[in-house]
Structure 1
């Protein structure tokens, strides 16, 4: 056998500033022009502003230079055709850009010094060839001065997201001026804006003192999961959110938890005063299987036929307390032989008890002030049966991920290809099957299943065969295209759109503005495409033959996607 090694071309890149000076430390990359996020070669410029990339295969590329500055990343790029041998030298000049000035203040208008402010290119505006945002270290940004002023330069793109970072503060897009709200605690500034005013709202704190009713010294206690060992029992911690009713939970070993809501007023902290922990009461809970009426003792057979005892988890929710964080771990308990749980140190006031056996649907019951024993019926819900099989019909062990339309996600790992599952709450789910080997080419189309409150439902997974190759040619403003089996509905919200993404055909490959789906089974399908800003959606349907290729030009008729 004879191996032929091809050396590839050598590409020399020079990076200059806006005034023509060499730029040291710029990152240069050769991106494959028609791909998404595929870099052929990269390097860093030297003191002369030069970098040489060796062994570049022939092809169409985009040569790009990036200089990471405190204020913003500065880019310059140009297309490049590489032939075998020596490629022509490339010179990239960074743009001078515009200047953005601003002030950071609190809601009362007082300046905030030391705030880190930085501009980032919007994901929707990032060149397609660059792919996802770099995961490298991001500069911390420009710090505001004593008067809260900052200056960002050079900005060359049409718009940017601005982040303003200060410990225990969050940006308030509604109160800020010259910007509009973005995602993930950012705001967006457009190219015609020369000056902005950013308002940061401090996360309010809840503080107080914890004591025991019997005067005993508390070794430690927890507030919202944070441990305190203060000898006087004092605590002070930020709330999860800046506004609105929020939950806070105080726990200590041997005492009943305190679970209540607090509502901060403006930017003010909440002082709850002295909280006295009591020993609480004991409640006996009898667990009964809803189908048989028999006590549930926690004893079950595992896949090998051996008996094992499963731990039960329970949570206490104060009566009328706001839902939401903190999401504290459940307390473990083991039933007795008669199916009873002896739960000690529970609140004297009414509360909600939630019990999860992992083998039944989570059960919730309100426990009144005078109750000291109760019976809880455990319902296993519907039986979800099915299989996972390869192309030869042989069973395969796989990870099953159930995602309900409201976002609830459950994972199940059947030991074999045939499965019977319980304890899946009712609802409409998309189910994805994945083999444990990440590199496996054995793929399964996602399934949609409506799990009823009771009875049985079946969901099966057969490995994708050769099928048909479907290519969709899309206009430049399309960022994402989904190929969905059947007549998929038009998404009426971002959450519905994200749920549809779980149902898309699993084998997709982008080339420029075209996407190719391989191994598509025969049938009727729905195409859903979205813009790069994900604010408009197009929907159409098509029929896929049993084999061969199908090419289609998609001409979107855009409809708004409600936020």
Structure 2
């Protein structure tokens, strides 16, 4: 039951909810943007408008009736509805594409699939596509009664959403006439929608929260401060989608089961225009070529355009992040790529001739080998197929196009040892690349179960003379000699370098791993896998209802084992773990929630063929209430609080456990500073608390025993006060020499740069801060030494930044006298390691592509002589150096021939 918390930024998910409550405005009045979430209309780009979901229409003759209650009795005015997922619902759609996603039946909303489909899913939600259809809805009467009519046969998910509570009940069959829905407290999901700096609010942004499994949508509009609130919502796992006109819709996700109020920050990226120019290998404008763009923020989409006669191209409305661009000529004989961000730079792409690798592969006797497969690994290829070739009868191959500067080449052929070679692109076409493969010795056989049935898909490893596990971290290409998977008939073939004794390991899901001693070479081996023991069962909540979204782990309790098997729990709370050895195990179910990782465990004794059935039931547990206060005892709202087990209480069979710290998502204290932690079952917990601009001080807190970073408390205890001191603030006003406010950013020591459009800063800093750094475009960096003291703010007053100078650096190459337009370079400014006294800092190195004239503009250079060093980014060779005098505006740097 040790703490295993998911670290990472808080993510917001869109959930289907009926009750939407925006935060109050400055006058304290609540304003609901629409009478129902579906009435809110917003578009991110002005071209797509959200549509209202169709009103429920009777599609059958059945009904569900019942009553909604809370702890005090029937509740009137609660909105009750019936929905169910279908093939078009987002939660049921398969992950598009082929390969592993299809093999493992991955769904669109699964975490791995969303990595590449985030933009696609956000767009669907924005257009209200994929929402679970609602078949009926109503509002409870004075006695809490409700009737949902016109339902077709089948089971439905019922949602009861009220002003002070919510509940969701899945799998309710149509025709039920005594359904009781007991309102729970539910939770509020609130937060702020900001620009990509994380601080500038986006008023009027639309936020859609959707339930991951049952796919109901709930909407809210951000107020003038960019804040929103949705709820109360039933406990569950949710996604969030945020959108605003002129900004890229964003999808946010966290892997927690939400059952307590949470506060999130949803950051969007502005849509901008990206312009650029593409050049031929000779440095001339490349007219009418295809340019492709891909952004690295959760989108698998590739956009394409064509350059004009001058090689110029434009992409409209792309998010203001780094993008990768690449271009081919019409015959794919030349290729180029670049990285660019719309708000910072133009994109310049210099194409290079594509090269091919050619040669012959022979055996150790010099005989040509046909059927040898050669493949390039680790190459960034854009939309080109992965380079691969197979030798012909003469052993000849031609591989390409080769794009990467360094090529990792793998050669494989049956009955021969694999080979890996590293080839430099500069050398690729210099001569023929011939290779020799050494013949392998083999181990062949059949894998079967105890009934003699062949087993397909079994993984086998061979390790000469030792445990095969030592080969796990070897180079993958070399591993192929000693690793394989049995075919449909259970047959396998393993090939290795030397003869002699070896160990063969075989393993598969649902079977116990098997180790066999063999003598290489060997044929006709028969490997028998036993199914062993199994543990299956159901995970239930404290009320006896199945719990989805739970992780199950089975720990081997043998001293020092550290072995654990993980499993998933289905929608009905079921799990199954097979292929287990006999022994004593701890079976544990885990579910992360705000502020606490819930767990339930049971000890299981397994014999060699035991088929154990275990029910894990989470306890209701106890609650712990407390307050977050400042040093004067006044409430501090919106503090996150987390509880975890002390390290000394972590069970011995868990070999590692994370320390308790301010990370993940905690329960949030309210406006009165009060917080509640529920479902606590251990005798003692560590509490930690955190909020931006505040420092948790356990020594000044009360209600428990303090250590250096936490407060140890007992559930059910009273008068818990967590004290948070105000972090010391640094204030400054940045101006130019004429006194005008200067847009600037503070880079150190804050974790992320803090930008200020008017140059005014009021930033909480840690007490260990010793130096701060201010930056502004075109100005010299400004550093100040600081001494921060607890509880004491530091005002640096008005800081005057000095404008740096600009210089245009033209780059030439002695080996290639043509223009270097689009060539990638690194330009570094320095004092040659001996800066003069009081010399201002030099700007960071320029890393990027030269413009159409083979030059780059440097800004923010100091008004003293500096040394400029230029090198080609692709190889780092040919460093050209020049001295830029104090008043010099243009310099030419020539790269020497190699």
TM-score of Structure 1 vs Structure 2, range by shorter chain: 0.3 to 0.5
Q: Which structure's residues are more often strand, by fraction?
A: 1
TM-score by length of 2: 0.29
TM-score by length of 1: 0.44
